[in-house]
Amino acid sequence: MKQSKYFIPTLKEAPSDALIPSHILMLRAGLVRQLASGIFSFLPLGYKIKKKVIEILRREMDAIGGQEFLLPALNPIDIWEQTGRVEAMGDVMFHIKNREGLVLAPTHEEIITYHARQHVKSYRDMPQIWYQIQNKFRNEPRPKSGVLRGRQFTMKDSYSLDATFEGLNESYEFHRTAYQKIFDSIGLKYFIVSASSGAMGGRQSEEFMVESDSGEDTCAVCDDCGYAANFEIATSDVEPVGRIQSDDHYEEFATPNAKTINELIVQFNLTEDQCAKSVVYIVDSAPVLIFMRGNDEMNETKLQSIFKTNQVRPAEADELVKYFGASTGSLGPINIPTKIKVIADLRLKDANGLVSGANKDGYHFKNIDFIRDCNINEYHDLRTVSAGEKCSKCGSALRVVKAIELGHIFKLGTKYSEALGAHFLDAAGAEHPIIMGSYGIGVERIIACYIEQNYDDHGIIWKKALTPFQVHLIGLNFTKSPETAEVSERIYKRLTDAGWEVLFDDRTDSPGIKFNDADLIGIPVQIICGPKNISQGKVEVKIRHNNERSTVDEAEIELILSEFYK
């Protein structure tokens, strides 16, 4: 490809809307342009990279027996109503206004299940792995960070259909391995975390994460043993509060100026372990009183999983008065005027000697015994881990990092097949819902994450898997030196004929412009043809990632390329 004819609008300055490296570089290198918030056009160079990603995805999905579909983005809404997801998705789903009953698909479990229901009627028809690489539409409330969170994006989504849970496990493992191959071959540094299947009611789920300050997920990772988990479900090894030797009855004391745990600790010389913090949530419109140790933070996702709902919110001030007759800072487990559910974090299990609110503004109780004095309905792991706590596997200090979710694999179970009536007959002739899994990878996120991990002051640094071209042939000073033009053309033709993907900078611009553009675009190998070297029958080879330069004979070029790309 001759660069003089190729549309690569590079920018010297970064558009002010772009803040993170991948976004800035994708704009500057002429890969994408933004059309509207969360909506991007891929320009030729960017699309070339995207197609390379897609090819890798296709290769690995085919390798595990996946069959490629292309499902419509326009969906009849009634299928989505049957699974209850029109409501669950809420505003995230785009609805067509001038044609009643159509929506834009944000994902495709429903449509896959629809087709499975039509034709997968026997255990003999399974297992199946169906996938597609297609645009998804989600009305994100706030798109951000370039292509990392958009309203229209490309996803590789696959779905497994199995007759048994053993089969599902196998399909899941196939995907897990394929995903590792995909990210490894691209050269991404990633880690896998256990994730919450949340209110979806699935069985197991893992996410493929890239550590990044631009990430929207938080994970706890252990660098020693490899433990990694999404914050939503992460646990750590923390000391339980336990019991102390004391039979003292609980006793009210005035705490007029202590509303927070820290104020209690300071004013009454307590330890965090002695304090049972009360938190009140409204879960499915019913209040739940939750106890956490000291300043331990409650994790909403864990709460959602316990109650299997995403209808969870902190109680409002007037609700606290209504249920407890007291306000925040004075709530506790004893003398609750209304009957509500009480749960506590595992760390407080069966503890005593505790201080908690007296359900009377300005008063607390001390010497509370959770066994003797309270009716704690259940104990659950409810706390959010924090950095530096001990890994529950190996005891090393956990790190807490921001991460970008690149892929998600998920054992769905029978939620969709049951809702849509996708049943099959087993060998004994008994009817069962199809057992499903769903697996997704964000295509644009791969590109953005790759760039986040591979750039320098000059621009992007591609490795061989995703580079839009294998060689950047840069001709210098053609107007002054027709011989250089001639030699460059000859090299271009020879490499192209030999099957190399060559971007040939045959523009008449000054060398500085060409070098800077080349580094910005980031093709791994640059071959520089200038008059000085040409006269000696030589060209210069520059390796982008380490800036290594060598002057070689024209005849050696292909050998060097074969070596680099072997």
Between residues 127 and 146, which has the closer beta carbon with respect to RNA? 146
Residue 493 DSSP class? H
Between residues 366 and 445, which has the closer beta carbon with respect to RNA? 445
Between residues 465 and 513, which has the closer beta carbon with respect to RNA? 513
Kindly list the strands in the beta sheet with 502-505, ordered across the sheet, starting from the edge strand earlier in the chain. Answer: 502-505, 471-475, 525-529, 538-543, 548-553
Between residues 287 and 440, which has the closer beta carbon with respect to RNA? 440
> Which of 305, 311, 249 has the alpha carbon at shortest distance from 281?
311
d(CA 542, CA 413): 52
Question: Cβ of residue 562: shortest distance to RNA, in angstroms?
Answer: 22
Question: Cβ of residue 62: shortest distance to RNA, in angstroms?
Answer: 22
Question: Cβ of residue 354: shortest distance to RNA, in angstroms?
Answer: 29
Residues lying near RNA in the complex (CB under 7 A) are found at 10-17, 19, 34, 36-38, 85, 88-89, 92, 106-107, 138, 140-145, 149, 155, 198-200, 216, 300, 310, 408, 410, 438, 440, 458, 476-477, 479-480, 508-513, 515-520, 528-533, 540, 542, 549
Question: Cβ of residue 336: shortest distance to RNA, in angstroms?
Answer: 26
Between residues 204 and 335, which has the closer beta carbon with respect to RNA? 204
Q: Which residues of 204-215 are buried (b: 16+ CB within 10 A; e: fewer)?
A: bbbbbbbbbebb
Question: Cβ of residue 12: shortest distance to RNA, in angstroms?
Answer: 5
Between residues 6 and 515, which has the closer beta carbon with respect to RNA? 515
Between residues 293 and 542, which has the closer beta carbon with respect to RNA? 542
> How does strand 191-194 pair with strand 204-211?
antiparallel
> How does strand 217-221 pair with strand 399-413?
antiparallel
Question: Cβ of residue 359: shortest distance to RNA, in angstroms?
Answer: 27
Question: Cβ of residue 456: shortest distance to RNA, in angstroms?
Answer: 10
Q: Which residues of 267-291 are buried (b: 16+ CB within 10 A; e: fewer)?
A: eeebeebbbbbbbbbbbeeebbbbb
Identity of the amino acid at 288: V
**H or E element, residue 503:** strand 502-505
Phi, psi of 446 (to 5 degrees): -60, -45
Helices (H), 106-234: 109-119, 165-186
CB 193 within 8 A of CB 362: no
Q: Which residues of 131-157 are buried (b: 16+ CB within 10 A; e: fewer)?
A: bbbbebbbbbeebebbbbbbbbbbbbb
Token pair of 199, please?
């209110």
Between residues 333 and 440, which has the closer beta carbon with respect to RNA? 440
Question: Cβ of residue 516: shortest distance to RNA, in angstroms?
Answer: 4
Helices (H), 242-366: 261-268, 300-307, 317-324
User: Which residues are CB-contacts of 198 (< 8 A; sequence separation ≥ 6)?
Assistant: 232, 301, 304, 305, 310
Between residues 50 and 138, which has the closer beta carbon with respect to RNA? 138
Between residues 106 and 353, which has the closer beta carbon with respect to RNA? 106
Question: Cβ of residue 352: shortest distance to RNA, in angstroms?
Answer: 34
Between residues 233 and 265, which has the closer beta carbon with respect to RNA? 233
Identity of the amino acid at 463: K
Question: Cβ of residue 405: shortest distance to RNA, in angstroms?
Answer: 9
Q: What angle do CA 171, 173, 176 make, to 5 degrees?
A: 115
Instruction: Work out whether the CA dihedral 218, 399, 441, 195 comes out positive or negative.
Output: negative
Angle between helices 482-497 and 557-564 (to 10 degrees): 50
Between residues 71 and 89, which has the closer beta carbon with respect to RNA? 89
> Which of 223, 233, 215, 533 has the alpha carbon at shortest distance from 382?
233
Calculate the dihedral angle through the C-alpha atoms of 91, 192, 466, 39, rounding to the nearest 10 degrees: 10
Question: Cβ of residue 70: shortest distance to RNA, in angstroms?
Answer: 18
